[in-house]
Structure 1
């Protein structure tokens, strides 16, 4: 019976030993805490991907009108602006990742989850009602600052679930929610943008929606994140060892509300008294080792400067470098007006231009529909593959799929039949979705396993999130610039064949140098056993 672990091969149990039951989603410990944390994780994908389906049309509507003729020069201008707008979010994340990590080590994990979530709600509302490029850029920066705490969430996951056999699914949960949030954000952005035009039977004639055509999807985002905020305040428990057991007004309020609800549903319900609740909270994570602290971070900085960590961080960073650029470039590619010259035999060699000419609702549905295949893969296929082949081999396989997807993408424009063109774009999109679905959770597990000690998990994930955010800022900005240059010379495939493919190939080379280690908690227990012996 295969065990879901972080190693490619699990040790054989001794003869006569009782086999443990297989790890399932329902067997995960502390499920309520993981689910609340997962709800909070929705903030980044909803805030970051909701605008992608209508990004082309948003920038064109906020522009001075030069982008309405569909020319190559105007399309290149939109591509540049789109790259900067997408990069602003990740740049703010990069600038604040280590700040959030240090605040979490000092004041606790929960405050660094709750307060940024509130700011994210406000940032979504502000972005939706923005009417100029500077205003929407400002709210993108605020949203990025509020979502710079992803490393804290990963650290919290490691502190909640420590047993090695559960980590495969526990560390898969946040990427799974991230992927789900991407799908929901793309669908919301595609369906609810310009609602008076896309859904006239429901929203036709509503004046404020005509004035603010892109406000509705961000308002729905704000409602969802407000619900996550309520869950976090009333149900999320602190995991920083120094803060466990301290009074939490939010938890007390949440327990009172739950007690009232249960009393209304079932007479005779007897809630735990305050002493029992406090005891439950104190022993919520009895096996946890002391978490990362500022003193630990300062006393062992040299331990992070190893070749294994450097290579792992490089692979962890290169993934969002090209994937974030793809997430910005592909919707623009789908929205740019189609160029009939490509199929009238006027295009030759590598020089052809244009896009697929889809509207925002089609773009959103296209991207979200194929993202659903990633959800299925993460939930049901990935754990089995990870247990059989190991995390590193899956990561390497996924990286090898990216270049093929990027090389083929521009050639779909040369297909004359719309059905064949649609099937081709579905194929290249499917390749990219499968690759990123396998690569994202694998990268998080590999980074966690590279930590030399549980005390440095927070620091390492903070550094990883900082570098990842920088990659997600530079990637789209540089990709938008290369795409604009390609359009100016009549080569829409320039950014796909040079920039995206080049970064993806570099990622393949780095992945071959990476190593798959044990979890830091497992490594620490092994060292303690050797010292005892």
Structure 2
């Protein structure tokens, strides 16, 4: 009997050694790809709504009825910077005010309804913004768009509920940031190319009266069209993931299935499908079986269900510091590129810290610059990030990315002191590339770290709701404060003031916080680990 017990470990070890190694995780191996893709399409709402205006923000504010002065005097560069900060902040401020409301509604009424209705509101807000002709009107529609996009935490929670296994986490949680980056690129390109179309594309839109009256409406109309397609996908294809709502009747899914069968029958006569009831039951059982939590084992000690821990507080701080400076950069950099160039800089009349002006690019050049370098972020997220994350871990990548931000911010203003447009263009490409790499690595890492900080799957939605609320507050305060400091810097002849003080200081504080963060297990794995210990 004793001999048998001694032989058991070696037998087990032999069995383990013969166990085939699991194949590497790829994009094609992700579970529930159709649900993730529909969720990704809905995720386009925020970047398209939020970044489309950035390439023409300087020209938009200059063209609006701002009430500055008399006799049609133009706004100064400092007042444009200040108003730009407030306009960008309005979107994030509305997100901050409503993110927890959306999270609670999602926990009560389901995830899908909190995706669909805000998406419809976002479409309306885009159209309203494009046809706004005064600061109060565009500010109002920016607030509505922010309210409609306060549900990002719900989307992240859905991702965690769709994909629970840790081995798929890296790519699953990478998908939403990947789409976010893609939406940023598309929004920047659309804003740059389609703003003032009668001037930028006269061969196509020359002489169109309504475009002359509303020169910034076309890019927002295209946004609305893209989001309308995402809305149709969400209504007809997105499945509920809230456990208490799974299995309930969904009229949108029924209509989606019938429409899909109709299209297939039109393409191929005699196509045979399951009847409505059989297909509905088959799809529902396959989806809900993977969504339902494992039955609780008697005697299992539940993990601590509290968010009041030091590890969570530090993780939330790191999660918040990132948008605090990144959102300000996204607002300040296009203004910096659009502000007229000061020839005194090139004539060496500027010295030390006191010089001003910008690069003097038009909106199409700004849009192409930002979207082109955003493409490098897409490449990094798809092909480089998963490899780095598997080799070095999420936290190490997050910390490395945070170190790159201050370097980019310190160098940016000095671009203006270089002689010649080629030298300045090359330098601005370098600092922009640094920032793009940093945020490409940091954004998905921050989401994964926040998810793994949750002590229990039950608190995952609440934690992401808190994270989204703090992130939205940072994206509201950051651009507003950055715009105000930038305006003060321009008034004293120091364009680098906001870059060397506010952005760099916040980025350095973020580096310090990242050193105190920890990389934990996913909440689902934590629960499974406790159950295995109890079974042993």
TM-score bucket of the superposed structures, by smaller chain:
over 0.9
Which residue in 1 is equivalent to 2:172?
Answer: 170
Instruction: State whether residues 67 and 74 of structure 1, in contact with CA within 8 Å, keep that contact through their aligned partners in structure 2.
Output: no
Q: Structure 2 length as normaliser, TM-score?
A: 0.93
Which residue in 1 is equivalent to 2:218?
Answer: 216
* Residues 1:101 and 1:501: Cα distance change in structure 2 (over 3 Å): same
Q: Which runs of structure 2 are paired with 1:233-252 in the superposition (5 Å)? A: 233-252=235-254
- Does 58-67 or 111-120 show the bigger shift? 58-67
Query: Is 1:494 matched with 2:497?
Result: yes
Distance in 2, Cα, partners of 1:467 & 1:490:
33
Distance in 1, Cα, partners of 2:361 & 2:180:
25
1:219-263, CA deviations, whole angstroms, 9 ceiling, x for partnerless residues?
000000000000000000001111111110000000000000111
Distance in 2, Cα, partners of 1:163 & 1:290:
12
Query: Is 1:529 matched with 2:532?
Result: yes
Instruction: State whether residues 65 and 133 of structure 2, in contact with CA within 8 Å, keep that contact through their aligned partners in structure 1.
Output: no
Distance in 2, Cα, partners of 1:463 & 1:59:
33
Which residue in 2 is equivalent to 1:364?
Answer: 367
Distance in 2, Cα, partners of 1:141 & 1:478:
18
Distance in 1, Cα, partners of 2:320 & 2:285:
37
1:513 alignment partner, SS class: coil
* Residues 1:197 and 1:73: Cα distance change in structure 2 (over 3 Å): closer
Query: Is 1:516 matched with 2:514?
Result: no
Which residue in 2 is equivalent to 1:255?
Answer: 257
| 1:67 Cα deviation after fit | 9.3
Distance in 2, Cα, partners of 1:139 & 1:173:
28
* Residues 1:344 and 1:389: Cα distance change in structure 2 (over 3 Å): same
1:321-341, CA deviations, whole angstroms, 9 ceiling, x for partnerless residues?
000000000000000000001
1:121 maps to which of 116, 120, 123: 123
Distance in 2, Cα, partners of 1:272 & 1:151:
36
Distance in 1, Cα, partners of 2:323 & 2:280:
42
1:168-205, CA deviations, whole angstroms, 9 ceiling, x for partnerless residues?
10000000000000000000000000000000000000
Which residue in 2 is equivalent to 1:484?
Answer: 487
Which consecutive aligned stretches of 4+ in structure 1 deviate over 3 angstroms post-superposition?
Answer: 63-69, 287-291, 299-302
* Residues 1:67 and 1:432: Cα distance change in structure 2 (over 3 Å): farther
Distance in 1, Cα, partners of 2:221 & 2:132:
13
Instruction: State whether residues 66 and 135 of structure 2, in contact with CA within 8 Å, keep that contact through their aligned partners in structure 1.
Output: no
Which residue in 2 is equivalent to 1:338?
Answer: 341
Which residue in 2 is equivalent to 1:379?
Answer: 382
1:435 maps to which of 434, 438, 441: 438
Q: Which runs of structure 2 are paired with 1:452-471 in the superposition (5 Å)? A: 452-471=455-474
1:486-529, CA deviations, whole angstroms, 9 ceiling, x for partnerless residues?
00000000000000000000000000000001111100100111
Distance in 2, Cα, partners of 1:131 & 1:289:
51
Distance in 1, Cα, partners of 2:214 & 2:304:
50
Which residue in 2 is equivalent to 1:83?
Answer: 85
Which residue in 1 is equivalent to 2:55?
Answer: 53
Equivalent residue pairs, number: 513
Q: Structure 1 length as normaliser, TM-score?
A: 0.94
* Residues 1:190 and 1:67: Cα distance change in structure 2 (over 3 Å): farther
1:194 maps to which of 177, 192, 196: 196
Unaligned runs of 5+ in 1: 1-12, 292-298
- Does 348-357 or 258-267 show the bigger shift? 258-267
Distance in 2, Cα, partners of 1:450 & 1:289:
22
Distance in 2, Cα, partners of 1:48 & 1:482:
22
Instruction: State whether residues 72 and 488 of structure 1, in contact with CA within 8 Å, keep that contact through their aligned partners in structure 2.
Output: no
1:271-292, CA deviations, whole angstroms, 9 ceiling, x for partnerless residues?
222233224224304243559x
Instruction: State whether residues 400 and 508 of structure 1, in contact with CA within 8 Å, keep that contact through their aligned partners in structure 2.
Output: yes
Query: Is 1:310 matched with 2:313?
Result: yes
Which residue in 2 is equivalent to 1:180?
Answer: 182
Which residue in 2 is equivalent to 1:7?
Answer: none
